[in-house]
Amino acid sequence: MEGAAGTYNSRTAEEVFRDFRGRRAGMIKALTTEVDKFYQLCDPEKENLCLYGLPNETWEVNLPAEEVPPELPEPALGINFARDGMDEKDWLSLVAVHSDAWLLAVAFYFGARFGFDKEARRRLFNMINNLPTIYEVVTGTAKKQSKDKTPNSSGKSNKSSSKMQSRQAESKALKIPPPKEEDEESGEEDEEEDEEEHGNTLCGACGDNYANDEFWICCDVCERWFHGKCVRITPARAEHIKQYKCPGCSNKRARA
């Protein structure tokens, strides 16, 4: 299959991880922000189709490679056949699980091909393991896990918790992540709380973590956060949106 493997010159664990991250980002787009296009391409009337993630953060649905053995491990075959026989959410979750398995297979194929030793393999796995799986991003499990991991330590007073809740309520109305307060006395404490609270927030499109120097917007339907750049929303445009619906929620309503 032309273009499925892409070009690669990976030699180190870090280079293989960059390849992994690019392919992962492309597949997440297919299953979230570009899910309507993905759904249409997976026509059950066509032959065995596969979802491929490419190193340049794009994706494609295509037939499996013709050469035997293939240049890279192949993803799950026939994902299109189950499309109309399952609930759409369950189908996307199934494709996400198989996509995670394929990404790991490709990464460790490179590891074997380039002769990684035990330390390089451990480093590669640790970098991969620090990212949420595609399944976790698609199903929203990653967001739930982040909430569960938020510590309720005794170091946080009721006053601090109340301030955090009020900032969250304000942020949803403004469509941007919670801002830092400008109180000189509690500035450092609030900064630590912001990092702790939102450091585990993940973009529903690319799956990357929250960064306070980037614009984010929250979907009012599924309540997932997105980088503005991932959903093509600018801060100026967000100010005029009364109720924001992410591409995934908009597409679901359109098909219904």
pLDDT of 18-77, one tens digit each?
999 999 999 999 999 999 999 999 999 998 999 999 999 999 999 998 887 888 899 999
Please provide the DSSP assignment of 78-118 as one string: -TTTTGGGS-HHHHHHHHHHHHHHHHHHHHHHHHHHTT--H
Across 155-174, average pLDDT: 43
pLDDT of residue 204: 83
Token pair for residue 126? 């640790």
- Angle 194-198-202 (CA atoms, 0-180°, nearest 5)? 165
User: What is the pTM for the complete model shown?
Assistant: 0.59
Residue 179, pLDDT above cutoff 60: no
- Residue 227: what pLDDT? 85
| Category of 187 on φ-ψ map: left (φ > 0), alpha (ψ -120 to 50) or beta | alpha
Task: Specify the range with the lowest mean pLDDT, choosing from 98-102, 112-116, 220-224.
Answer: 220-224
Residue 256 confidence (pLDDT): 53
Across the range 244-250, mean pLDDT stands at: 82
Q: Which residue has the higher pLDDT, 117 or 226?
A: 117
Does 153 score more than 50 pLDDT?
A: no
Mean pLDDT of the chain: 79
Is the distance from CB of 189 to CB of 167 less than 8 angstroms? no
Residue 165's pLDDT is 44
Write the pLDDT tens digit of every residue in 188-240: 555 555 555 555 678 888 888 777 778 888 888 888 888 888 888 888 888 88
**Contact by Cβ (8 Å): 103, 24:** yes
Q: What is the pLDDT of residue 4?
A: 44
pLDDT over 70 (residue 151)? no
Alpha-carbon gap, residue 168 to 200, rounded angstroms:
15
